[in-house]
Structure 1
Amino acid sequence: MLLDETGLINERFNSDFAPAEAMDALWAAGWRHFGHEFFRYNFGIHAGRVMRVLPLRIDLARFTFSKSQRRNLRRNAGLDVTIGQLGVTEESRSLFKRHRLRFTEGRPERLEDFVPATASASPCESFQISGREGGRLVAESYFDLGEHSASSVFAMFDPAITAAGLGIFTLLKEIEHSLDLGLEHFYLGYAYDKESFYDYKKRFRATEYFDWKGNWREFQTE
Structure 2
Amino acid sequence: MNTQTTLSPQFYLTAPATCPYLPGKMERKVFTHLIGPRANEMNDLLTQGGFRRSQNIAYRPACELCRACVSVRILADEFEPTKSMRRVLADNSDLVSTVYPAQPSTEQFSLFRRYLDHRHQTGGMSDMSALDYAIMVEDTHVQTRVIEYRKRRPQDSPIDQKGELVAVALSDMMGDGLSMVYSFFDPTLTKRSLGTYMVLDHIERTRNLGLPHVYLGYWVNGSRKMGYKTRFLPQEHLTMQGWERYLPDEAMADGVEAE
**TM class by smaller structure:** 0.7 to 0.9
Question: 2:144 aligns to what?
Answer: 126
Greater fraction strand: 1
Out of 34, 37, 53, the residue aligned to residue 15 of structure 1 is 34
- 5+ residue gaps, structure 1, are 1-7, 45-49
3-state SS, counterpart of residue 173 of structure 1: helix
Give the root-mean-square deviation of aligned CA atoms.
2.4
The residue aligned with 2:202 is: 174
SS of alignment partner, residue 61 of structure 1: helix
Q: CA deviation at 1:87?
A: 1.8
- Secondary structure of 2:44 counterpart: helix
SS of equivalent to 1:65:
coil
Q: Give the distance between the partners of 1:67 and 1:114, measured in 2 at CA.
A: 37
Residue-pair matches, total: 207
Equivalent positions of 1:1-222 (< 5 A) are 10-17=29-36, 18-41=38-61, 43=63, 52-101=68-117, 102-106=119-123, 108=125, 109-110=127-128, 112=132, 116-118=136-138, 121-133=139-151, 135-211=163-239, 213-221=240-248, 222=250
What SS does structure 1 have at the residue aligned with 2:191? coil
- AA aligned to 1:91 is E
- Distance in 2 between the 1:89 and 1:184 partners? 31
Secondary structure (helix, strand or coil) at the match of 1:143 reads strand
Deviation at 1:10, TM superposition (A): 2.8
CA deviation vs aligned residue, 1:188-213 (integer Å, no higher than 9, x gap): 111102232011111101111111x2
The structure having more radius of gyration, on CA atoms, is 2
TM-score by length of 2: 0.72
- Which amino acid in structure 1 is aligned with residue 182 of structure 2? F
Relative to 1, partners in 2 of residues 1:113 and 1:208: Cα closer, same or farther, differing over 3 Å?
farther
Percent sequence identity is 28
Q: Which runs of 5+ in 2 are unaligned?
A: 1-26, 154-162, 251-259
* Greater relative contact order structure (CA < 8 Å, 6+ sep): 1
